[in-house]
Amino acid sequence: MPIEVIVAGLPRTGTTSTRMALEQLGFVKVMHMNPDTADPQVIAAWREVYANHFEKTWTSQDWRHFFDKRFPEYVAGVDSPFADFAVEIAQAYPNAKVILQYRDPEKWFISLQLLMKHICFSRWDTLCIWPLDDFYAYHQYMKPRLAWWQNVYNYPNAGKHMMSSYIDKIKSSIASERILIYKVEDGWAPLCQFLDRKIPETAFPRCNDAESLTNVCKNWKRKGLTIWIGWLTKMATTALGLSIIVLISRRKLLS
């Protein structure tokens, strides 16, 4: 399936709520790099895109091959990496609609920094999650993504101005008739009108993705530590057992 909707909204602009809204409107498969639910194959693929700066060399045909051949079930995407490569994806899919999602820049950057503290792990955190294949893979994906952000957005030095620079980039690169400038507080009406969907009778979904991601990261660290404790306990038990065997053997030899 071709990409139908591109949410050009940086993390912490309400992307989880928008993903839930799109799914409710019938866009069944929406790509979102949530560490607790993201497909490991998708994580690995985007890691390569960031690490190699494929946006500099890939043609529109390359981008279409990336989605149509490797991930044909997805029809939309929110958050990074979709937001980071929104211009390239929009060029590859000229019929896709673009939702330029924004938030007050100052509040946004404060929220982003709080989130980054939890998903950009220290060495100790990295050691904790090492036994967890999927979550460790997400951590490995975050390394080139953060380096890409530093190179392209001047993150974190750009501060709150990163938001306005991003908005200007999208507006100057994609035709205005393809873009809905949107914030989640606007709710269903402008979103449904733009996407030609009937307004649902249910309330617009609200999700504190920063809080949920923080809890996810904490839970994964606990799981990793539990595995480490189990391993170390087995090693200690084995070492103790071997020590006892050696001690008994020595006493038998001396008796």
pLDDT by residue (tens digit) across 18-73? 999 999 999 989 999 876 667 888 989 999 999 999 999 999 999 999 999 999 99
Q: What average pLDDT does the structure give for the chain?
A: 86
Query: At 97, which amino acid appears?
Result: K
Does the pLDDT of residue 195 top 80, yes or no?
Answer: yes
Comparing CA positions, the residue from 47, 79, 66 lying closest to residue 144 is 47
Strand spans (E) along the chain: 5-8, 30-31, 76-77, 97-101, 179-182
- Sorted by where each starts, the structural domains of the chain and their CATH numbers stand as 5-254 (3.40.50.300)
Does the pLDDT of residue 163 top 70, yes or no?
Answer: yes
CB-based burial label for 64 (10 Å; 0-12, 13-18, 19+): middle
Report DSSP letters for 192-233, one per residue.
HHHHT-PPPSSPPP---HHHHHHHHHHHHHHHHHHHHHHHHH
Kindly report whether the global pTM for this prediction surpasses the value 0.75. yes
Query: At 55, which amino acid appears?
Result: E
Tokens standing for 122? Answer: 């220290």
Per-residue pLDDT reduced to its tens digit, 93-122: 999 999 999 999 999 999 899 888 766 555
- Alpha-carbon span 8 to 76, nearest angstrom: 11
